[in-house]
A = this chain, B = another copy of it.
Amino acid sequence: MSRIDGRTPDALRNVTIDRGWSKHAEGSVLVAFGDTKVLCTASVTEGVPRWRKGSGEGWVTAEYAMLPRATNTRGDRESVRGRIGGRTHEISRLIGRSLRAVVDYKALGENTVVLDCDVLQADGGTRTAAITGAYVALADAIAWAQRKKLVKPGRTPLTGSVAAVSVGIVGGVPLLDLCYEEDVRAETDMNVVCTGDGRFVEVQGTAEAEPFARAELNALLDLAVAGCTALADAQRAALA
C-alpha cells in the first residue's frame, strides 16, 4: 500500500535544513519537511528574566506562529485578534520544553536564547519541523555566544541534540511524518520528541477518532524513534 505522495509507511518526507538564512539572527534555519517550511531564528541576549537573576543560570524559550496564508485557507492574524490562540500557546510551550531538555543552564550562564519558529508554509508536522530546525539554530547561536565569549569556555551548554517527528494511524496503518492530508484522516496522531541518543523528551499521543490500544502505541513509538534517528543524522550533517 502506497501513501498519497508515494512514500512507504516508514519514510520521512524530503528534509532540508538551510543554515544562515537571516543576516541579523545569531542562529537561523529554514527547515523543510516536504512542503512544510518553517523559519527558525535564535536570538541571544545577555541577561535572564527577573525571576532567574543572580542564579548563574541561563534560559531558553520559544515562540511559534503561522503566517496568515501559510495554510490552505487564510487565518486571522493573532495580533489583529488581540490574543494568542490555545494551539499557538500549546506548541510554543512544547518547543520551549523540548529545546530546554538538551540545555545545561549552568554552562549557558546568565544568557537568554529566544527561538522564533514562524511557519511560512504548512503541510502537516509544523511543530515537529520547528523543533528539528530550532535545534540547529540554537546550536549556531550557542557557537556564536562561545566565539563572543558570552559563554565561558569548557563545558558546552548543549548536552545533546533533539529532533521531533509526527506519527499516526491512517486507515489502520501506522505512518511516519504525516502530511496535512494524512493528518486530517488519522485515527490516532502522535508527536514524539527524542534526543540524539534515542531517549524520549516528549510523547504526545491523541485519539482523534477511536481510542487506541497498547500495541498501536508501541508500533507508533517504533516508527517515531527511527524517524528521529534519521532527523538527528540530518541535523548533524547540516551542522558539519
Contacts and interface: CB of A to CB of B under 8 A. Distances in A.
A77 to B, nearest CB: 6
Name the interface size band of chain A.
35 or more
Contacts of A213: 199-200
Contact of A63 (B72, B77, B121): B77
A109 B10 CA distance: 40
Interface string A54-97: 00000000010101111110100111101111111110110001
Most chain B Cβ neighbours within 10 Å, of A190, A214, A221: A214
A202 B205 contact: yes
Contacts of A86: 84, 89-90, 92-93
A24 B72 contact: yes
Given A25-B69, A71-B24, A120-B39, A204 B207 contact: no
A158 to B, nearest CB: 13
Secondary structure at chain A's binding surface: helix, strand, loop or mixed? Answer: mixed
A235 interface: no
Given A86-B92, A199-B213, A97 B206 contact: yes
Given A77-B63, A82-B82, A69 B202 contact: no
Interface in A84-138: 84-90, 92-93, 97, 101, 114, 116, 118, 120-123
Given A74-B114, A195-B211, A199-B212, A80 B63 contact: yes
Copies per complex?
6
A170 interface: no
A204 B203 contact: yes
Given A90-B90, A101-B211, A69 B41 contact: yes
A22 interface: yes
Given A79-B77, A86-B93, A90-B93, A116 B207 contact: no
A201 interface: yes
Contacts of A39: 67, 120
Given A35-B23, A39-B120, A86-B89, A202 B195 contact: no
